[in-house]
């Protein structure tokens, strides 16, 4: 089943993705999109690696996520991938990459994303463009998957 998990920061999205991936058949894959920009990100990446232990084959791809998809995969996470595109000044490419990604999604897939902009409108144009792009990407992914869950305080709420 193709599932999109969304929610706020530290709402339990990654842990839920690991729970759902326990149902995967065959070898499990993990697509990590983060770039270790600083010590905090390095620590966060290390914690996530430790959570997965050796249960997954990890593939690190920060931009071309459509080319890195494998069967039985967690993709963690869409906001970081989009951030990378903005950071690398390749944000004009996000829609094309996402469309290719959707076209080749395997049947066993869990995608982790975030809900941002649920109330505060950023004061700068770049942050507003990012929030709009993430909202559009989330909507496209939600239409393309079989199930959507919203994580609230560590609890999964079925949306689709």
Task: Tokens for 41, please give them.
Answer: 């990100």
Cα separation, 65 vs 83, in Å, equals: 13
138, 113 in Cβ contact below 8 A? yes
Domain boundaries, given as residue ranges, for the chain: 2-158
pLDDT at residue number 108: 97
- Distance separating alpha carbons of residues 72 and 128, to the nearest angstrom: 34
Reply yes or no on whether 29 is catalytic: no
pLDDT value at residue 18: 94
Active-site residue among 48, 49, 140, 147?
A: 48
For the CA atoms of 137, 140, 144, 145, the dihedral, rounded to the nearest 10 degrees, stands at 50
d(CA 105, CA 116): 24
pLDDT digits (tens, 9 = 90+) for 6-52: 999 889 999 999 999 999 998 999 999 998 889 998 898 888 888 88
Distance CA 5, CA 77 (A): 10
Task: Give CATH superfamily name and number for 2-158.
Answer: P-loop containing nucleotide triphosphate hydrolases (3.40.50.300)
How open is the CA angle 91-120-32, to the nearest 5 degrees?
40
pLDDT beneath 50: ranges in the chain: none
Output the pTM of the full model: 0.94
């Amino acid at each position: 089943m193709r599932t999109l998990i969304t929610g706020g920061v530290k709402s339990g999205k990654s842990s839920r993705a690991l729970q759902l991936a326990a149902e995967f058949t065959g070898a499990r894959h993990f697509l990590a999109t983060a770039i270790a920009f600083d010590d905090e990100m390095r620590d966060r990446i290390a914690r996530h690696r430790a959570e997965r232990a050796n249960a997954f084959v990890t593939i690190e791809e920060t931009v071309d996520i459509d080319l890195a998809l494998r069967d039985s995969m967690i993709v963690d996470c869409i906001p970081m991938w989009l951030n990378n595109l903005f950071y690398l000044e390749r944000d004009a490419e996000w829609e094309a990459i996402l469309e290719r990604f959707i076209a080749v999604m395997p049947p066993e897939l869990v995608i982790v994303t975030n809900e941002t902009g649920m109330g505060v409108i950023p004061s700068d144009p770049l942050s507003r463009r990012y929030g709009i792009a993430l909202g559009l990407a989330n909507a496209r992914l939600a239409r393309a998957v079989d199930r959507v869950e919203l994580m609230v305080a560590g609890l999964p709420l079925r949306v689709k």
